[in-house]
A and B are shown apart, each in its own frame.
Chain A
């Protein structure tokens, strides 16, 4: 029976994993994760490793829970009152959801970039060093160092180095998104969470961001949600296909896109479904 149909009918399915993915060292391990919005379940028994130093793309039709999963990793869903969860995630070997975990410290170990660029209403400089500011860092030279390092990391330095004290809102959309990436890597996180970072950008800005992701991988483990199949195939090492809150297949990108183990994945990726 078609797995997607089974999922739509509410039956549990077995996720399919490629061995190459399981063989990698995981920076983040998701274990039997369930998430509920009130009574409504949004994620079902998700288990997957996120490989260290690689780009993992989450793909799937709208409403399949990609963003929810991503936002669970740094516990952004805590902000929504009705959310409750089961299962756990491990960052390295430490639980993310155990009671007594300091959420603030946890979030500092992950950087997150959102769908729409959201620079703060302050100068470019202050935007980048914001994670350090909230830690009470006052040392000007260190702040400057981090600012330059992050902006270089986000490939924005050359464009803004002469106007660091102008408002972050004065940049173009693509620049704003790279500014947000610079901000996300300023606290030197282990994992970068990108939630459809290019969906609000034009093709040129998109390609710049993609180049940037290419450059950042290795230094950071990246988990990216995207709707754009080409983008996923271009930039990711691993791809996870999700459907209606369940993980269907997780594998190396090249094989997912050329010879997936499941026909359903192939159908989705080639556009015959979804």
Chain B
């Protein structure tokens, strides 16, 4: 028998070499890498550069405007015939020349942070390069940037101080010193306001006592309270000492009600002088606070007059342009008026030509801070003179004074560091657009920790049961698949569930009992008979499970039916207990007195943590199960062979061995939870919270408070705030922070796993 031997090919096929697959897989890898790196680079660059102080530049336009700002960047845009209509005539003619008949061309525009919101109604502006009258902007050395508590940044030139004389060289020092004093003042006002809050809280607590007495005794106390208050006031006013307990209005009331009313009235009367003095103190401090302000000249121009000749001819030929002499100079009257002095001998002038017909003029009286003007020669004819609009700024409102064009590199680093410190540890200003993110960072951390506390026992115990106790079968597989699927449910669904179940049902139940949670309580006879029935069911379940007992090897599986019955009975008991709790007629909530203001019946820290715990539960269960499955069976057998019971084996052998895996899963869950935003919007995160969820006030952890959250902050700043454009840089910085937080968590997980693994699995052979 002969067989044809196939001729061997000289070279192996392309498929065998696998070259294309290397390119394909490598290419995909490169694309994936570049996408991830691109995102990281964007967030890193934007996040890190936001707080970096940039120089302030002033540009003059063909439309005879002076536009100043911190240059944030420039981008390309489409210059088309339609957009031309927004431009002034000079610019338009230049743009038309550029277009040269085409319908549109690509051009660039500058992105400037202009600040001075109260004057211009904008924080940022775009400046098309086609409108610039000169390429080189002026960077005035003496420009100031004031970061303020309100209204954002103000850019301008200092002119004078309201409380003292200043000259050009010491004005910054004077303001810095005043800022230091003002800080003390601000702190004092804060302290006084805190006192006010404390008194308010005490009074509202006393009012709650009255409301509680009302609820307990089912009587109306408002009338008695009003009357008693009036009587007490009258007594007080007449100067006689009043024994509140014996007021006629309170006669006939029960002791607790009387005590509550007396408590409230006494508290109100006692705190009245205090309130008055605190308010007076605050008014005084506010007065003092308003006493010191800096007058700033902002680059918002007002026409103040005209000059017959342009600035380059104001001084006689040959004489220095920097020193004006009334004798030789032809200064326009408007400027002399604005300088407030007709004696021009001591006035020093500088002009800077900004375009062919545009000048920035600075005038200085002795060593006083210079005053700035803007002169424009219109169409070769008369010259218009513009003055800068003045804007007073309270020293106490200034957070930071920066002279952006005088900063050395080191100085810039200093400002950068100080801004970062404020960002990390400071309170938000301007509705979160400026200032610190501390409450958001703190809220995220506290919420994540509470969530971990909630998810950890549930997840680990459930996984332990599934892996160590439950006998494998279709039911267990079904449950396992369901848990894995839970991880894929959109997180907003968890948010909706959390809102409906935790906030409204459980929270409502805690606040105001079954009725508030939407359950009609049963009459007490019905409830008691149901209770008796449930008790019997529970006892029977107990008995049956004892009967079904541990399975005996020799009896086969005959008794497992009893086991199933016991299981069903236990489930029935559990369901019955829940129903009984929901229908209880004797419970009307722990916070009934506060109603209709919800305490737990709204989004708050506790429910946010619970919702996230539910969301991360699959992660924890799956990770724990995997960790448990990785424990070698030989260890379990060894332990059983030593006579250890199941729980002893789990506790002493299985759990310690699985600990690295469990902790890893747990930290991954934390990272997932920390980055989750959608459910947060519904169950407790708010854009601006005045109180922290964990602080130094008893009981320290306030589960019923709403809180700020980094992820939610990104969303609300970027898309919900009035001023998203101004908030954009902060969004990136917050994103960076969240990324760093999550990365840190993940790194901790990796490090922990590695170090624990080293401890448990050293050399085998």
Listed in ascending order, the chain A residues whose CB lies under 8 Å from chain B are 74, 76, 78-79, 81, 83-86, 97, 99, 104-105, 107-108, 110-112, 114, 116, 118, 120-122, 130-131, 133-135, 167, 169-170, 172-173, 180, 183-184, 187, 193
Contact = CB atoms under 8 A, between A and B. Distances in A.
B698 interface: no
B320 interface: no
A170 B657 contact: no
A121 to B, nearest CB: 4
Contacts of B642: 107-108, 111, 130-131, 134, 183-184, 187
Given A114-B634, A169-B763, A169-B764, A120 B639 contact: yes
B634 A118 contact: yes
A201 B471 CA distance: 35
Contacts of A172: 765
A272 B214 CA distance: 99
Nearest to A98: B554
23 contacts: A84-B556, A99-B552, A107-B641, A108-B643, A111-B641, A114-B638, A114-B641, A118-B632, A120-B639, A121-B635, A121-B657, A121-B759, A121-B761, A131-B643, A131-B644, A134-B643, A134-B644, A134-B645, A167-B760, A167-B762, A180-B638, A183-B642, A184-B642
Q: Is the interface of B mostly helix, strand, loop or mixed?
A: helix
Contacts of A108: 642-643
Nearest to A126: B652
Nearest to B641: A112
Contacts of B10: none
Nearest to A131: B642
A272 B643 CA distance: 41
B554 A104 contact: no
A134 B650 CA distance: 12
Chain B contact patch, size range: 20 to 34
A243 B761 CA distance: 39
Nearest to A169: B762
Contacts of A173: 764-765
Contacts of B635: 118, 120-121
A160 to B, nearest CB: 15
Contacts of B759: 121, 167
Contacts of B632: 118
B551 to A, nearest CB: 9
Given A169-B762, A180-B638, 8 more contacts: A81-B471, A107-B641, A114-B638, A118-B637, A121-B761, A134-B644, A170-B762, A187-B643
A187 B471 CA distance: 31
B490 interface: no
Contacts of A167: 759-760, 762
Interface string B736-765: 000000000000000000000001111111
Contacts of A111: 641-642
B470 to A, nearest CB: 11
A26 B648 CA distance: 32
B224 interface: no
A169 to B, nearest CB: 5
Contact of B656 (A85, A110, A121): A121
Contacts of B641: 74, 76, 107, 110-112, 114, 184, 193
B640 interface: yes
B553 A85 contact: yes
Nearest to B760: A121
Nearest to A121: B760
B637 A76 contact: yes
A254 to B, nearest CB: 31
Interface string B637-667: 1111111110010001100110000000000
Nearest to A87: B554
B761 A76 contact: no
B760 A169 contact: yes
Interface in B608-638: 632, 634-635, 637-638
Contact of B652 (A83, A104, A134, A193): A134
B763 A107 contact: no
Given A104-B645, A130-B642, A133-B652, A169 B556 contact: no
A167 B657 CA distance: 13
A252 B519 CA distance: 80
B529 to A, nearest CB: 40
A107 B553 contact: no
Nearest to A86: B554
Contact of A105 (B640, B643, B656, B763): B643
Nearest to B638: A118
B129 to A, nearest CB: 69
A97 B761 contact: no
Nearest to A79: B640
A97 B553 contact: yes
A99 B637 contact: no
Contacts of B648: 134
A79 B556 CA distance: 15
Contacts of B653: 120-121
A193 B632 CA distance: 20
Contact of B640 (A83, A84, A107): A107
A107 B636 CA distance: 14
B634 A78 contact: no
Contacts of B762: 167, 169-170
A122 B645 CA distance: 18
A84 B643 contact: no
A263 to B, nearest CB: 37
A81, A120, A167, A187 — most chain B CB neighbours (10 Å): A120
A173 B644 CA distance: 24
A74 B700 CA distance: 55
A135 B759 CA distance: 26
B475 to A, nearest CB: 14
Nearest to B471: A81
A80 B652 CA distance: 21
A84 B763 contact: no
Contacts of A131: 642-644
A201 B631 CA distance: 22
A83 B553 contact: yes
Nearest to A200: B765
A99 B645 contact: no
A183 B643 CA distance: 11
Contacts of B553: 78, 83-85, 97
A121 B657 CA distance: 7
B657 to A, nearest CB: 5
Contacts of B556: 84
Interface in B542-596: 552-556
Which 10 A-B pairs rank lowest in CB-CB distance, beginning with the nearest?
A: A108-B643, A112-B641, A118-B634, A121-B760, A107-B643, A118-B638, A131-B642, A134-B644, A173-B765, A169-B762
A120 B643 contact: no
Contacts of B765: 172-173
A234 to B, nearest CB: 24
Contacts of B645: 104, 134
- Residue from the set B639, B641, B648, B657 with the largest chain A CB neighbour count within 10 Å: B641
Contacts of A116: 634
A258 B759 CA distance: 51
A84 B638 contact: no
B634 to A, nearest CB: 4
Contacts of B657: 121
Q: Which of B553, B556, B644, B762 has the most CB of A within 10 A?
A: B553
A20 B493 CA distance: 77
A76 B636 CA distance: 11
A135 B656 CA distance: 19
Contacts of A135: 643
Nearest to A35: B553
A118 B634 CA distance: 6
Contacts of A180: 638
Interface string B663-675: 0000000000000
Nearest to A122: B656
B552 to A, nearest CB: 5
A179 to B, nearest CB: 11
A125 to B, nearest CB: 14
